[in-house]
Homo-oligomer: A and B are copies of this chain.
Amino acid sequence: MSTIRLLLADDQALVRGALAALLDLEPDLSVVAEVGSGDAVVPAAREHRPDVALLDVEMPGLDGIEATRALKQAMPATRVLIVTTFGRPGFLRRALQAGADGFVVKDTPARQLADAVRRVQAGLRVVDPALAADSLVAGESPLTGRETEVLRAARDGASVVTVAGRLFLSAGTVRNHLSAAIGKTGAANRAEAVRIAEEHGWL
């Protein structure tokens, strides 16, 4: 049995290095490339031809989801395993839609990671069961495209007019979109709506 070649992508160098150390302990696994940003994933994959890519969701440049899409398009044979800090239900859904073969939260015990890699390499889907359940109840984002944009632009506490300026919209329109988002999220508030949408992975 030949060794499985791995690519690691995580913006935190310490975590990246530590994961590499952990996975290199396994005799059948070998980390052939490490990158710290989403943009670097595809070039590194072209050069080192990994069997499996472990991608973090939170990354500068392309995030893990977009990087998955790009990688699957460039090299469809490469398996993708998403490794992330936050178990946002929406992330799981979007990751799978982007073509990911597995989804692991950083809460899972260290020893299971190598198994997850092997399963993914074998062509199986690996998904955290608890998270999958959450994803089903949470469902898809109820927010329309514009509402999502507006809510995202209001994340940092910008006022209505500021957001309107950023998106080239009328202030009234922004207010309406925000109102709709607040209603759909069940929030009482702009800030609360942002929080809820973020927790569900809708932003």
Interface residues of A (CB under 8 A from B): 11-22, 25, 83, 85, 104-111, 113, 156-159, 187-195
Shortest C-beta distance, A45 to chain B (Å), equals 21
CA distance A109 to B21 in the complex (A): 13
CB-CB under 8 A from A20, the residues of chain B are: 110
Copies in the complex: 2
CA distance A33 to B109 in the complex (A): 15
Name 15 A/B residue pairs within 8 A (Cβ), A-sorted: A11-B107, A13-B107, A14-B106, A15-B15, A15-B18, A17-B109, A17-B111, A18-B21, A18-B22, A20-B110, A21-B21, A156-B195, A158-B189, A158-B192, A190-B191
B189 near A159: Cβ-Cβ < 8 Å: yes
Shortest C-beta distance, A196 to chain B (Å), equals 9
